[in-house]
Amino acid sequence: MVSSKMYELGTKKSTIRTIFEFGRKRAAQVGEENIFDFSLGNPNVPTPDFVRDAAIEILQTYEPAKVHGYTVAPGNPQVRETLAQSINARFGTHFAGKNLFITSGAAAAITICFKALAEPGDEFITFAPYFPEYKVFVESVGAELKVVKPRPTDWQIDFDDFQRLLSPKTKAVIINSPNNPSGAVYSKETIAKLTDILKAQGRNIFLICDEPYRELAYGVEVPWVPSFYKDTLVCYSYSKSFSLPGERIGYIVVPDEVADFDKIFGAVAGAARVLTHVNAPSLWQLVVARCAGKSIDITPYERNGKLLYDGLIAAGFECVKPQGAFYLFPKSLEADDYAFCERAKKYDLLLVPGADFGAPGYFRAAYCIKTETIERSLPLFKRLAEDYRS
């Protein structure tokens, strides 16, 4: 009657969503202020005023058909050109509008790339800990996801395991830096070694960079990967940088240097068509073009991250200090991270098991929440840790 696979995906909620929904029910019982929900990566920093002002001005002054009508599938040509020039100013590149395909956020961008590249029998490789939807997206295009085991000492890449997984079936490698869930930023050394290994394979293996957290980096540089490796596709979203997760706006960059540019860009366009992409929201295309290159204040995230990290370390947790995004990924206080997160609920601390990200024995805490909530949670983390020591 229906696809069993689609039914399974539609009825089996992600762990993150299940925890979030538990929190809503629990809040109705004990009060919103008594729930310490670290489960969801929903930006709490307000959308910048310049974004709001741009949207209002566009709505008030542009012809309605330009704001709400169709654009061509790859996006408004002027918007693509503006965003290309903004990228060039930041990274010393030479892109034009033809190198960009505007998408409805980063999830759409990476799925379009997977669909554009995948052929029967292909494998994609990513690195734990990783965004769990990668597996869903890769399998949806008929390919298989291979996962490199985590390197918990610094959450960089375990290159021995990576080379073990490389095979003639490898079509592409997926990286996410700054990383969800670890907060790690892949160093220049890591990117250089990764791309050197790919170059040594003697064939075109694509590198797909998932970069919704690029601007959320704290005192470290996020390497621009296309400068290391020509067969790179960059997937970007404004969901985190402009606090617009519900508006779904982002893009794919396809550099001229990529192997057979015309074929790759054509496949991206074809994949978007098959995946029912008509065009990204016209209003938000215009807004992000108007706001291109403007800086954002990441101080609240940096402050929250330091507060939570220092508090957990003081309570006896082990954790690599995050360099970006808005997540901490500490070691759980027992080997079974699911059991640990369940035990944390006794203190109304809502945490996500690391096994969901390919790293059992750890847990994710999203600190994109009110600073006061973090402050009031720290005594509860301390009590949780003492509970394990008693």
**Is it true that 4-47+297-389 and 49-290 share their CATH fold?**
no
Task: Assign domain 4-47+297-389 to its CATH architecture.
Answer: Alpha-Beta Complex (3.90)
Give the tokens for residue 327. Answer: 């997540």
Q: What is the pTM of this model?
A: 0.96
The Cα–Cα gap between 148 and 206 comes to 17
Enumerate the domain spans of the chain.
4-47+297-389, 49-290
Q: Could you read off the pLDDT of 16-54 as tens digits, one per residue?
A: 888 988 889 998 999 999 999 999 999 999 999 999 999
- Look over the chain and give the mean of its residue pLDDT values, rounded to a whole number: 97
Give the tokens for residue 301. Answer: 């995230």
Judge whether residue 315 has pLDDT over 80: yes
If you write DSSP's letter for every residue of 236-267 in order, what string do you get? EESTTTTT-TTT--EEEE--TTSTTHHHHHHH
Residue identified by tokens 């490389």 is: 166
Residue identified by tokens 């805490």 is: 365
The answer to whether 122 touches 169, Cβ cutoff 8 Å, is yes
Judge whether residue 390 has pLDDT over 90: no
- At 205 the pLDDT is 98
Q: Which phi and psi angles does 216 have, rounded to 5°?
A: -95, 75
Q: Percent of the chain having pLDDT more than 90? A: 93
Q: Could you read off the pLDDT of 179-237 as tens digits, one per residue?
A: 999 999 999 999 999 999 999 999 999 999 999 999 999 999 999 999 999 999 999 99
- At 86 the pLDDT is 98
If you write DSSP's letter for every residue of 137-203 in order, what string do you get? HHHHTT-EEEEEPP-TTTS---HHHHHHH--TTEEEEEEESS-TTT-----HHHHHHHHHHHHTTSS
The Cα–Cα gap between 56 and 47 comes to 13
The identity of residue 217, as a single letter, is: A
Cis, bond preceding 281 (omega within 30 deg of 0): no
Class of domain 49-290: alpha beta
